[in-house]
Structure 1
Amino acid sequence: MHALLTASERNGHTCSAHAMGEGPGDNRCFSHDPHFTITAQGQTVEFRVVQETDRSEHIPTDKELADAKKFSWFRIPRYDYTPSDRLRVDLRGGQLHQGSEWADSSERSLEDQLSEIVHEIGLRGEAAERERLAEVEEARQSHLRWEAAMVEARAQYAEDYRVRQLESQAAAWRRATRLSEYLEVARARAEVLPPGLEKTKAEEWIEWAMGHVAREHPMAQPLRLPGIPEPRAGDLKPFLRDWSQ
């Protein structure tokens, strides 16, 4: 393990030891804290060093045979497990490449496989770095797409604002035209009234009304592109399509 940690640090990785509580001697699940971790390019790989066991057929004792006859719930184990002189290293964390466990075997000792473990750590670190760079690039591309969408949304917002102003001016023109037509009829009616209070009041009303129509008539205003107000919160949402979800 010292050789493994030294080689890992020589490759630029960082190592950290962990406190281990008691746990099963040959547990292939990481149900307990790792013995140590090695972090390669931001990817943390957890390690557990396990003493493997040997399994042999269990020979029932006289007491076990008697208990099995006496108690219906008693079960005689089929196998006995004894600690061996073999070790296994389990790895967890990151993208698996060549394996997640290495152990002593009759063909190769664990010491002879340390270079493979070091290589696996490096591969997992490289994969993590590629994933990180891909995420950074995706975030950059997403930001560029967002900026482009915002430019397009602002352009569409401006176009929509101009269209609404145009429609508003057309509606105001129709209203002013209708009122002007009405006032022409009203003025003709007032001209035939006999002199007196009724005619005076009618002429006062028509004079004010004609002034009001003249002031509000869109043709009395300069014809030019309207200024586009700065969009408020939510104004651009209808033009952002998928970005507005």
Structure 2
Amino acid sequence: MFLFLEERTKRVDHEPTAEERLEAKRWSWKRWPEYDFVPSGVLRLRIADLDHTGIRTTWSDGKGQRIGHCLSDFIAGLFKAAAAIKRRRVERLEQEKRRREEAEQRMAPSPGSWWTTLSTPGGPHPVASPAANASTRTSRLRRR
């Protein structure tokens, strides 16, 4: 979770200074910026990295309120955000645990499978794969 205190800016056309004009005459490639960004005095508090949690993430100055009056709401929002992040982390860990368990179940040999039959003592044929087992059976049939 990241916290930001930002100030909005206004974009205004840049008025070149005497020094900038002099350098532009001296060096043909030298340019000045097209715009300047001037602070507006409007502040905003923002909590970042809270996607789709339904928690308020911005508090800013407005016509009827100043950001100083919103600090208690902002701190309450921080606690809600921390709880949401913790909840999301626990859910992710549970999902990962379920995925690992399902993968282990898929990888484990099921009773009656060819690998279980081959790995049990006294199994029918000591071969490595079902294809090899089928190949052995076919060659026996041809000999008869």
Normalised by the length of structure 1, the TM-score is 0.36
The answer for the alignment partner of 1:65 in structure 2 is: 21
Specify whether residues 86 and 160 from structure 1 end up closer, same or farther in structure 2 by C-alpha distance, changes over 3 A only.
Answer: same
Q: Does 1:110 align with 2:67?
A: yes
Aligned counterpart for 2:91 among listed residues 126, 134, 150 = 134
Q: Distance in 1 between matches of 2:125 and 2:20?
A: 97
The answer for the alignment partner of 1:211 in structure 2 is: none
Specify whether residues 79 and 99 from structure 1 end up closer, same or farther in structure 2 by C-alpha distance, changes over 3 A only.
Answer: farther
Q: Which has the larger radius of gyration?
A: 1
Q: Distance in 2 between matches of 1:119 and 1:90?
A: 13
Q: Distance in 2 between matches of 1:79 and 1:149?
A: 62
What secondary structure is seen at the aligned counterpart in 2 of 1:121?
helix
What secondary structure is seen at the aligned counterpart in 2 of 1:132?
helix
Aligned counterpart for 2:124 among listed residues 163, 166, 179 = 166
What secondary structure is seen at the aligned counterpart in 2 of 1:76?
coil
For the 8 Å contact 2:46–2:57, the answer to whether it is kept is yes
Deviations 1:81-109 (A, max 9, x none): 44443333243334354565443244542
Q: Distance in 2 between matches of 1:61 and 1:140?
A: 64
Aligned counterpart for 2:3 among listed residues 47, 61, 83 = 47
Which has the larger helix fraction? 1
Q: Distance in 2 between matches of 1:78 and 1:158?
A: 76
Higher relative contact order (CA 8 A, sep 6+): 2
Aligned counterpart for 2:31 among listed residues 67, 75, 85 = 75
Q: Distance in 1 between matches of 2:28 and 2:73?
A: 50
Q: Distance in 1 between matches of 2:4 and 2:15?
A: 32
Specify whether residues 122 and 95 from structure 1 end up closer, same or farther in structure 2 by C-alpha distance, changes over 3 A only.
Answer: farther
Counterpart amino acid of 1:134? E
Q: Distance in 1 between matches of 2:83 and 2:61?
A: 27
Superposed displacement of residue 46, structure 1 = 1.9
Taking only the aligned residue pairs, the percentage that are identical comes to 23
Q: CA RMSD in A?
A: 3.9
Normalised by the length of structure 2, the TM-score is 0.52
Structure 1: runs of 5 or more not aligned: 1-44, 169-245
Deviations 1:3-34 (A, max 9, x none): xxxxxxxxxxxxxxxxxxxxxxxxxxxxxxxx
The answer for the alignment partner of 2:141 in structure 1 is: none
Superposed displacement of residue 47, structure 1 = 1.6
Q: Distance in 1 between matches of 2:104 and 2:63?
A: 62
Superposed displacement of residue 132, structure 1 = 2.6
Q: Distance in 2 between matches of 1:131 and 1:69?
A: 59
Aligned length, in residue pairs = 123
Q: Distance in 2 between matches of 1:84 and 1:57?
A: 15
For the 8 Å contact 1:50–1:89, the answer to whether it is kept is yes
Aligned counterpart for 1:124 among listed residues 63, 81, 85 = 81
